Amino acid sequence: MPKSPLPTADAPAAPDKAMTQERLATGNRPAIDARGLVKTFGGVTAVNDLTFQVYPGEIFGLVGPDGAGKTTTLRLLASIMDPDAGSAAITGCDVGTESARVKDHLAYMSQRFGLYQDLTVGENIEFYADIYGVARKGRQERVGELLDFSHMRPFIGRRAGDLSGGMKQKLQLICALIHTPQVLLLDEPTNGVDPVSRRDFWRILHRLLQAGVAILITTAYLDEAERCNRVALLDHGRILASGTPDEIKGLMSGRLLTIRSNRSREITALLRDRTSAASVNVFGDTVHLVCPDIDRTTGEARQLLERAGIGWERFGESQPSLEDVFVSVLGTGKSGPGLPGHAAAFTPPPSPVGEGIAVGVEHLTRRFGSFVAVDDIGFRVRRGEIFGFLGPNGAGKSTTIRMLCGLLRPTSGSGTVAGFDIFRQAEQIKGHIGYMSQKFSLYEDLRVEENIDFYGGIYGLAGDRLARRKDWALEMAGLADHRASLTAILSGGWKQRLALACAILHEPPIIFLDEPTSGVDPLSRRRFWDLIYTMADQGITVFVTTHYMEEAEYCDRLALIYGGRMIAAGSPLELKTTHMQEEIIDLRCPEPYPLIEPLLSLPGVRDAALFGAGLHVVTADAARTQSAITRLLEEMDIGGTTMTVIMPAMEDVFISLIEEVDRQAAAHRPEKGRS
C-alpha cells in the first residue's frame, strides 16, 4: 500500500496539467459534482461514499477491477438509477430531482449496445440525432465527420444487427457524439475497438475538450487512463486514490525492474517465487518485477537467467505505468479470480491428424452476396501453439473463426480442424473444439451455475465429472461466491470469465477465443493468460483474436488480416523486425496532444500519435528527425521532454502495415474522370 495518501479527486492537478490546474484555480463550477454517493443491491454495496468532481474541458478517468462500481456510478450520474444516499449534479442540475434537465446536458454511452438492430447504420444515427434535437442544418456535415473518423462510411446502409461487435461499438460512439453535450459519460467506449479506431476516437475526445466538454470515462485500457487529466482508482465501490496519472503512480511501493526478451513467458515462470521481487508479471515481450530492493532483485534475476541460458534485449530499471500500479496495488487483494494450480489442470488432448497440425486452411474464401468477407487466405496452426489472429474491425476475423468452428460454410477453399474437413465434417469439429464468441453465449435469465450445468450437458458431462468441472470453472472464473447469482446482473468482465469457463468446460484439444478479454481489467487479463499458457503447455491449441496489442506479444505466431486478406504473418519479433521498416521515437512531454500537428509537418515524419502518456513518432531516419524535433521544441519553448529510439510495439506494426496497404491501394486507384 502507499506510504502516504494521494490527493482526493477535488485536489488541484499537477503542474504539468496546466489546463486543468487553471480551471480549478479560477474556481469554475464543476460540470459533474458527486458527493457521498451510495448504491446498494441487496446486501452488496456497489458504490460506497463516492465523492469527486469533473470540470469543463477536463477528462476524468475511472479505473478499477471488474465489479468495482464504475458502471453503477455512471448510471447514477445519468439519472438511470437513484442513489440510496448522497447527491450528484450535472451542470448544476440535481440528478435525482431534475433528471429531465440533466439529460438535456449530457450524452451517455453504456456498455450495452443502445442500437436498433433492424435499422441501418445511417438510420440509427438519424434516430439519435432526432432524440438529441440536432438541427437539420449542419447535421450531415457532423454525421460525415463521425463516419469518416470511425471508418464506418462504407457500412452506412448495413443493418446494425449484421455488424461485428467492434463495429457496433463504433456505431454507438457515433450515436453518443452526434451532438456536442456539456457532459459526456463514456462506459468503456473503446472496448472491442481496433487500435486505428482507438487513435481516431481519442482525437475526437481532444476536440471535445477544447470545446469545454467535461468527460468522465471508464476504461479497461490503462494506457488510455494515462491520457486523462485526472484518474480515480476504484475498488469495491470506494475511491482508493485519485489525482493526476503521475500522482497515482505514487501508490506503488518499491521500484520497477524490467527485462525485455522474446522469451518473456519463460522468464516469468523462472523468476516467479524465486527472487525477492514482490511481484513478477509479463507485459507483452517484457517482464516487470516490483522490487522492495532493486539491487538485490537485479542480482538474483541475472544469476537465474544466466544459469538457465536465457538472453535478453534490455535489463534495467523503468518508470512504472498505471497498469503496473493497478496490478501491484490490486493484485494481492480479492478483486479478481484466483488461479490455483489444480484449477488449471487439463487432460492432455490426443494429437491431431496430420503431423501435429491442429488447424490448416488453403484459399479459404467466404462471400455474402457481392461482399467478400474472407478473401483467399491460408495458414497452419501447430498443436499446442498460441496463434494470434489480428485485424481491424470488419477485417474478417470472426467470419474466419465461424468457418473453422463449423458454424458457417466456406464459399471456397479447403481446410481441416483437429483432422476433420471443414466442408464435410462440421459436426465432428464441434465436438473437438471450444469456442468463445464476441457475443456472450450465455443465458442471462439463468444463474451462474445453471449456465455451467447447461453447457456441461451439451458437452456430455454428467455425474462426478460435471461436479468436478463445475467447481473448477467457478474457481477459475472467480465466481465461486456468485454461483447462485443471476447472470444478467454480472458485470461485463464477470460475464466474460463465465463465458470462457463454459467454452473450456469439456477440456477440448483446440480452443477458439474471439476477443476473450475485451473489456476485462488488467489483473483478470493476466490470469486469463496464465490459464492459456498452462493449456498450451499441455498440448492444447489456442486460436485467439484480440485488439489488445500487448496480448498479441503473448502469442507464438501471428497473422494479420485486413479487408479479408492476409497481409502479414510470423512471430511477434519477426513482425517487428522484418515487416516494420520505419523507426519509432518515443517522445515524452507534459502536453503531448498539441504537439501532434506540428510534428506531422516535419519532413521525414510519417506519423505521430498518442501512445500511453506520450507520443510515438514514426520516421525513416530517427537521427535526423530527432534533430528536427529538438529544434521544434526550442521554437515552441517546450521543456521537460525526453526522446528515445525504441523497438516498435505491436500497435506500431499493426497500424504501419494497414496504412501501407491503404497507400498502395490509393496509388493504384484510378483518378476521377480517367477512363
Supply 514's cell numbers.
474471439
Region 38-55: what's the mean pLDDT?
93
Task: Show the cell assigned to 628.
Answer: 528536427
For residue 440, what pLDDT band results from cuts at 50, 70 and 90?
Answer: low
pLDDT digits (tens, 9 = 90+) for 116-132: 999 999 999 999 999 88
What pLDDT is stored for residue 15 in this prediction?
33
pLDDT tens figures, 283-326: 878 899 999 999 999 999 999 999 999 999 889 999 898 888 88
The Cα 643–Cα 596 span in angstroms is 15
What pLDDT was estimated at residue 375?
96
Whole-model pTM: value is 0.82
8 Å CB contact between 653 and 582: no
Q: Which residues contact 410 (CB under 8 A, 6 or more apart)?
A: 364, 365, 366, 374, 403, 422, 423
Give the whole-angstrom CA distance, residue 630 versus residue 170: 37
> Cell triple for residue 93?
442540475
Which residue, 336, 328, 316, 332, is CA-closest to 260? 316
Averaged pLDDT score across all residues of the chain: 86
User: pLDDT digits over 608-636, tens only?
Assistant: 999 888 899 999 999 999 999 999 999 99
Please state the rounded mean pLDDT for residues 338-367: 67
pLDDT at 13: 35
Is 592 within 8 Å of 646 (Cβ atoms)?
Answer: no
Task: Report DSSP state, residue 555.
Answer: S
* DSSP per-residue string spanning 90-126: ETTEETTT-HHHHHHHEEEE-SS----TTSBHHHHHH
Q: 233 is written with which cell numbers?
A: 482508482
433 by DSSP, 3-state: which?
strand
Lowest-confidence segment of 159-163, 190-194, 459-463, 640-644 by average pLDDT = 190-194
Choose the weakest-confidence range: 97-101, 306-310, 354-358: 354-358
pLDDT tens column, 464-498: 999 999 998 898 777 888 899 999 888 766 787 78
Question: Residue 559 — φ and ψ, nearest 5°?
Answer: -130, 135
Per-residue model confidence (pLDDT) at position 634: 93
Cα distance between residue 232 and residue 50, in whole Å: 11
- Residue 23 pLDDT exceeds 80: no
Cα–Cα distance between 504 and 41 in angstroms, integer? 31
pLDDT at 79 over 50: yes
Determine the residue type at 227: R
379 contact partners, CB below 8 Å, separation of at least 6: 359, 360, 361, 387, 559, 566, 569
Give pLDDT, residue 557.
94
pLDDT at position 345 is 53
The band of 99, judged by pLDDT with boundaries at 50, 70 and 90, is confident
Structural contact between residues 491 and 522, judged by C-beta atoms closer than 8 angstroms = no
Where b means 16+ CB within 10 Å and e means fewer, 387-415 reads bbbbbbbbbbbbbbbbbbbbebebeebeb
Note the pLDDT tens digit of each residue in 536-555: 888 899 999 988 888 888 89
Kindly list the structural domains of the chain, giving each domain's residue range(s) and its CATH number in brackets, ordered by start.
Answer: 18-249 (3.40.50.300), 253-319 (3.30.70.980), 342-571 (3.40.50.300), 581-647 (3.30.70.920)
The confidence score (pLDDT) of residue 338 equals 39
pLDDT at 157: 94
DSSP type of residue 439: S
Top pLDDT among 27 and 9 is at: 27
Q: Could you give phi then psi for residue 674, rounded to 5 degrees?
A: -80, 135
- Report the DSSP beta bridge partners of residue 59: 215
Q: What does the pLDDT look like over 380-395, one tens digit per residue? A: 999 999 999 999 888 8
pLDDT at residue 9 tops 50: no
Q: How confident is the model at residue 40 (pLDDT cuts 50, 70, 90)?
A: very high
